[in-house]
Amino acid sequence: CSESDLGPISLNWFEELSAEAPP
C-alpha cells in the first residue's frame, strides 16, 4: 500500500491523536 492510497502516514500517530482527542 502506498502513502497516496492511505494519506500521510505518521510514526507517532498514537501520541498525536492522544494530544488532539477530547480528554
Residue found under cell 497516496: 4
How many residues bind other proteins (CB under 8 A)? The answer is 16
Shortest spacing between CB 21 and other proteins, in angstroms: 4
Shortest spacing between CB 16 and other proteins, in angstroms: 7
**Interface map 1-23 toward other proteins (x if CB under 8 A):** x---xxxxxxx-xx-xxx--xxx
d(CA 23, CA 5): 30
Count other C-beta atoms under 10 Å from residue 6's C-beta. 8
Residue found under cell 492510497: 5
Q: Which residues bind other proteins (CB under 8 A)?
A: 1, 5-11, 13-14, 16-18, 21-23
